[in-house]
A and B are shown apart, each in its own frame.
Chain A
C-alpha cells in the first residue's frame, strides 16, 4: 500500500510564539485488527445514508432515503440462560428497532447527529430543512423522541448537521452555505451565522471543540468544490469568517472527522505515575477527510494555528470514499473508512520517536461489508478498557459474559442495511 508521510513542521524558529500542541498518537505501529459481524439490522426500505451512536448509551440511530430515522438497541432475552445458548451467547442477544422518527420529512434524511447529552437528535433532509427531536421520557432506558423544532432557511437539500453543545448546531446544504444555530428557548432556534464561501454543494460539517479554557470552537465544512474550509468566530459574537481553506483533494470531499482527544483515566493514571503528577499539555485533535479521489488525508495545526497535511492514505479503495469515523481515543488512533467498492477499511496512525513524522497503515479490511456502497461508518464511543485480544474473546464466550467490553462499529449502505461489527485485536 503506497503511503506518503509528510514531515510535520518543527518549532525551531518560533521563539516566543505559542507552542504547537502534541498529537495523541502512539509511537509504535498499532496491532492488526479483526472485524466480526454482530448483527444485520433490516427495516429501512431504501438506502441507508447515515449511522450514528448515542454518546451516552448503546443506542444506534440510522437515517435513510425512506424518509425515516430508526433507533436500534441490543436487547438481552431473559431466556438466554439455557444450555444451548451457553455455547453461543450471541444468540441470546438481538438488535431490534426500538423507535422510528417518521412523518416529519418529505424527502431523504441524509444525516443525523446526537447532541452531547444524548437528549437530542438532529436530522438533515433533502426537503431543505433540519429537524431537532427531543427525548420525551426521563426514563434512562426509554428512547422515545418527539419533534422539538424545524430549522428552516436553506434554499436546497440539507446534507449534514452537527451539534457542538446541546444548544448549538451547524447545518450545511447544496445551496453552498453552512448555518450555525443557537437555541434561544425551548423549541426555538435562532440563526447565529450564515457562512458563505464554498463554490459548490457543501457535503458535511464538523466541530472542533475548544481545547483550552477561553479558546473558541472551530467549524469545518467540506464540499463538492474539492476543499475543506475552517471557520472561526471573531471576537464579535456571531461574526464567522473563513480562517483557512484546505486544498489538497482533486475531487469532492465527502466527509470530515475530528479525532476525539479526551484522555482516558488509564492514560491519566499512567502519566501521573511517570511524571509525579505533572500534567501533560493538552493534545490537539487530528482532522481526517475523505474524497472522491479515493484518498484520506490527515491534518494538524502548526504553531500559528494553520492546518497542514501530516499523512495521506491511498491505494486501499477502488472507488469513492464516502465516510470516515474515529474510534474512541482509548483504543488508539484508529479510523474506519467506507467506500463505494462496498468495503470498510480500518486505518491506524502512529508517530516516529524523535522525528516529527506520522505514519498510516491498514489494520483491517472488509472487502464485501455491504452488497452496495458503504455510506456511513461510526464507532460506538462507549467502550470499557482497551481492545480485546482474540484470546479474551474466547474467554468471553466460555464465561457467557456480555459483550460490554467490545468495540462496536456500525455501517450503513446502499443495500438498505445497517450492520454492526465487533472490532478486536487480530
Chain B
C-alpha cells in the first residue's frame, strides 16, 4: 500500500498517563477468589486497548479508536457491545479494525459470551454496511479462515516487541 488511508492521525499521548482506576472496593473483590469475577467494561477495554492500528505504530487506545465509555456489558445476558471510532470517516481499515476487536474478545472473554462490535454512530460513511458485516458471524468466521487476512489481524493483536 503506497498511499496511507489516514496519513496524519491524532495521537493522544496522555492516554498512557490517565489509565482508568478501579475503586478500592473493586480491588478487594478481585482478591476474593470465592467472589465470581463479572465481566465489566474496564476489563473489556483492557483486552482491546493495546491492539495496534494496521497503518501506524500506535494502539487503538492512543488513537482513541476504543474508549471505555463506549463499551457496554450486560452480565446477565453475557453480552458485550463495543463501539469503536475510526480515525477518519472514509477509513477503509474500519472492517479490519472491527475484526481485530472481535477476534481478540472472542479469545479473551469466557466462552459463550456474545460480542457485538459496532462503529460509533455518525463516525463512518458506510456505517450500516460495516456494522452488518461485523455482526454476521458466518462472514467473520469465513474471513478469519483467509490466511492472509488472519496474518494481518494477528500482527495487530500481538503486543509491541
A contact set with B: CB distance below 8 Å: 47, 65, 107-108, 110, 126, 157, 159, 174, 201, 203, 224, 251-252, 292, 318-319, 340-342, 371-373, 415
CB <8 Å contact, B136 and A126: no
Write out, one digit per residue, whether chain B residues 133-159 have a CB within 8 A of any chain A CB (1) or not (0).
000111101100100000000000000
Q: Does B7 contact A (CB under 8 A)?
A: no
Considering the chains assembled together, what is the distance between the CA atoms of A342 and B114 in angstroms?
A: 10
Contacts A157-B142, A342-B112 hold; do A252 and B136 have CB atoms under 8 A apart?
yes
CB <8 Å contact, B136 and A107: no
CB <8 Å contact, A415 and B112: yes
Partner of B145, one of A126, A340, A341: A126
Classify the interface of chain A: helix, strand, loop or mixed: loop
Chain B residues near A341: list those with CB within 8 A: 77
Q: Add 4 more A-B contacts to A203-B138, A224-B132 (CB < 8 A).
A: A174-B139, A174-B142, A292-B136, A341-B77
Chain B residues near A292: list those with CB within 8 A: 136
Considering the chains assembled together, what is the distance between the CA atoms of A321 and B8 in angstroms?
A: 42
Considering the chains assembled together, what is the distance between the CA atoms of A159 and B111 in angstroms?
A: 25
Write 27 A-B pairs (CB below 8 A) sorted by A numbering. A47-B141, A65-B141, A107-B142, A108-B141, A108-B142, A126-B142, A126-B145, A157-B142, A159-B138, A174-B142, A201-B136, A201-B139, A203-B138, A224-B132, A224-B136, A224-B139, A251-B132, A252-B132, A252-B136, A340-B114, A340-B137, A371-B111, A371-B112, A372-B111, A372-B112, A415-B111, A415-B112
Chain A residues near B141: list those with CB within 8 A: 47, 65, 108
B contact set with A: CB distance below 8 Å: 77, 111-112, 114, 132, 136-139, 141-142, 145
Nearest Cβ in chain A — how far from B114, in angstroms?
7
Chain A residues near B77: list those with CB within 8 A: 318, 341
Kindly report which residue of chain B lies nearest to residue A107, judged by CB atoms.
B145
Chain A residues near B132: list those with CB within 8 A: 224, 251-252
Chain B residues near A252: list those with CB within 8 A: 132, 136
Chain A residues near B137: list those with CB within 8 A: 340, 373
Q: Which residue among B111, B114, B141 has the maximum number of chain A CB atoms within 10 Å of its CB? A: B141
Considering the chains assembled together, what is the distance between the CA atoms of A111 and B136 in angstroms?
A: 17
Kindly report which residue of chain A lies nearest to residue B137, judged by CB atoms.
A373
Chain B residues near A47: list those with CB within 8 A: 141
Considering the chains assembled together, what is the distance between the CA atoms of A126 and B136 in angstroms?
A: 15
Chain A residues near B111: list those with CB within 8 A: 371-372, 415
Chain A residues near B112: list those with CB within 8 A: 342, 371-372, 415
Nearest Cβ in chain B — how far from A156, in angstroms?
8
Chain B residues near A340: list those with CB within 8 A: 114, 137
Considering the chains assembled together, what is the distance between the CA atoms of A373 and B114 in angstroms?
A: 9
Nearest Cβ in chain B — how far from A2, in angstroms?
20
Nearest Cβ in chain A — how far from B72, in angstroms?
15
Chain B residues near A159: list those with CB within 8 A: 138
Considering the chains assembled together, what is the distance between the CA atoms of A415 and B138 in angstroms?
A: 15
Q: Which 6 residue pairs spanning A and B have beta carbons closest together?
A: A372-B112, A371-B112, A157-B142, A126-B142, A107-B145, A126-B145
Nearest Cβ in chain B — how far from A330, in angstroms?
34
Considering the chains assembled together, what is the distance between the CA atoms of A108 and B137 in angstroms?
A: 13
Nearest Cβ in chain B — how far from A173, in angstroms?
11
Considering the chains assembled together, what is the distance between the CA atoms of A351 and B50 in angstroms?
A: 58
Nearest Cβ in chain B — how far from A48, in angstroms?
12
Considering the chains assembled together, what is the distance between the CA atoms of A110 and B112 in angstroms?
A: 20
Considering the chains assembled together, what is the distance between the CA atoms of A324 and B21 in angstroms?
A: 47
Chain A residues near B142: list those with CB within 8 A: 107-108, 126, 157, 174
Considering the chains assembled together, what is the distance between the CA atoms of A271 and B3 in angstroms?
A: 75
